Chain A
Amino acid sequence: MVATDVKLAVRDLNIQYGGQRALSGVSLDVHEHEIFGIIGPAGSGKTSFLRTLNRMEMLQENMTVDGSIVFDGHDISKIQNVYALRRHIGVVFPLPVGLPLSVYDNVALAPRLSGIKDKSALDEIVEQCLMRAALWDEVKDRLDALGSLLSGGQQQRLTIARALSQDPELLLLDEFSIAVDPVTTMRIEDVLKELKEEITIILVTNLVQQARRLADRTAFFLDGQLIEVGETEALFNGEVKDRRTLDYLEGRFG
């Protein structure tokens, strides 16, 4: 592998909810233009990890974070303008959240929030993002329909289009395929492979095969700890440092 730029450097990250530890001592690097997979059973701290990356812990009262996260060379705990940070990081949730706005407004929301008013510029962003999220053909004739009334799979692609409308440098996907049928999942996966050329993607998934299909490197979280990070192919070929990783990958887990 050629040396790559580090997009996101995490060092000694600890997350607590009240007194409860959700994540301890996580250190990892995410490289530019890679899909970085995170796998692990429920409750292993994957989602908590994602939430800290765009400083959503600020909005959750009992959540405390320490350690350092450096995004594009900036320590995010020192960034005053967290809104700008969040605009650089797109997020897609497990369950699709079609905001109760029209399809158009859903995608135009982020550009509008960042001050773009020009109608033709917005039109272009909306069309492009919907296109990149493989949704344009299905909704181009009903951009005025409510986004929350689309089907689950369409809403999830709408969510992705919305995340892309922020023109993010980093895209966080949290188990995006949970509420999506296999065909749509495959379409979104193809979209992600293309997106990788332009942006960096962190993909949290419960489906180890999805990690295998998409991720360049994969991290395995267990009980709030990072067990290991490795080249995805190598991990699946059994080149693991920790036995538990292999057990999980092969489905032999208690």
Chain B
Amino acid sequence: MTYSEGDVGVSGQSLMFAATPLNTRNRRIQWLFRALFGLMTLILVVPVGIIFGVLLVRGGPAISFEFLFSYPSDGMTAGGIWPALVGTMWLVAVSLIASVPVGVAAAIYLSEYAPDNWLTRGINLAIINLAGVPSIVHALFGVGAFVIFAGFGTSILAASLTLAVMTLPLIIVATRESLQAVPMAFREACWNMGATRWQTIRTVVLPNAISGILTGVILSVSRTAGETAPIMFTGAAFFFPFLPTSVFDQTMAMAMHLFVISTAVPGVPDELKYGTALTLITLVLLMNAASIWFRSYLRGKKKW
């Protein structure tokens, strides 16, 4: 069968696909929302770009081998940031050592073992509330609990534990979510084989939740490195021109150092401040990048 142009068949078809007013309206609305969401994304990205751009332009020239690896001098108006850099790494490391095992273990208990009752629901609620506690309150808690009561004094240990308490909810929530994302059918299959809960968790659940758990750890690393308030009274020193030798030493820290040279010490060249901020943000970005790379490496192996 052949149709010539203008035939009923052809015009009938074109009518069939003609846009009705409703189609047109739907298409406009769809375009509107797409534009709206895109705009919001842009608004989100712009400040990040500006912050990093400004830091790069104004702080970039300050960055040198000398700046990174030497001690502050002349009442902190010159010199480098080495002790603060090392101090921040100590704080991040010790706080991770405390928070990751506790957080992951608690999340495993809550997700895999705990019965669904009022107590569990209460604990979950408490964890969410803990995430909402302002960091200065954590700081005061840290002074009371770790510096004074536990007798650690103002030290890396006290500061790290305070930071750990602050980041625990992040780790617990991220871990719990990623554990619960592992399909129930996997667990059932294991249990049916006569595996105990722990065998199931070890062989099937954890390996598939590890990338989500790492996300929580990444977030907590960033917060730990960047927080000032919780360490201000618990272990970070105003000026401490030595490298810490144990967890009972005080230490300088990047965030604290930036706060100090920006607000408390007169006559610090802007370049130093920007340089310090740039180093801090780069440090956090590097740690994030490393973990994100590791996570995607692990995720590449996970498929179902």
Contacts and interface: CB of A to CB of B under 8 A. Distances in A.
Interface of A: 54, 56, 59, 61, 82-87, 89-91, 93, 95, 97-101, 109-110, 113-114, 146, 148-149, 159, 162-163, 166
B194 A149 contact: no
B194 A84 contact: yes
B192 A56 contact: yes
Contacts of B190: 99, 109
A148 B303 contact: yes
Interface in B169-223: 185-186, 188-196, 199, 203-204, 207-208
Specify which of A99, A114, A146 lies most central, judged by the most chain B CB atoms within 10 Å of its CB: A99
Given A98-B304, A99-B189, A166-B194, 13 more contacts: A56-B188, A56-B191, A56-B192, A89-B192, A90-B192, A100-B186, A100-B204, A109-B203, A110-B193, A113-B199, A148-B303, A163-B193, A166-B193
B302 interface: yes
23 contacts: A56-B188, A56-B192, A59-B191, A82-B194, A83-B194, A83-B195, A83-B196, A86-B191, A91-B192, A99-B190, A99-B204, A100-B186, A100-B204, A100-B304, A109-B190, A109-B193, A113-B203, A114-B194, A146-B303, A159-B189, A163-B193, A166-B193, A166-B194
A54 B195 contact: no
A80 to B, nearest CB: 13
User: What band does the interface of chain B fall in when counting residues whose beta carbon is under 8 Å from A?
Assistant: 20 to 34
Contacts of B192: 54, 56, 86, 89-91
Interface of B: 115-116, 185-186, 188-196, 199, 203-204, 207-208, 302-304
Contacts of B194: 82-87, 110, 113-114, 166
Contacts of A114: 194
B188 A93 contact: yes
B19 to A, nearest CB: 41
Given A61-B116, A93-B185, A99-B186, A87 B193 contact: yes
Contacts of A166: 193-194
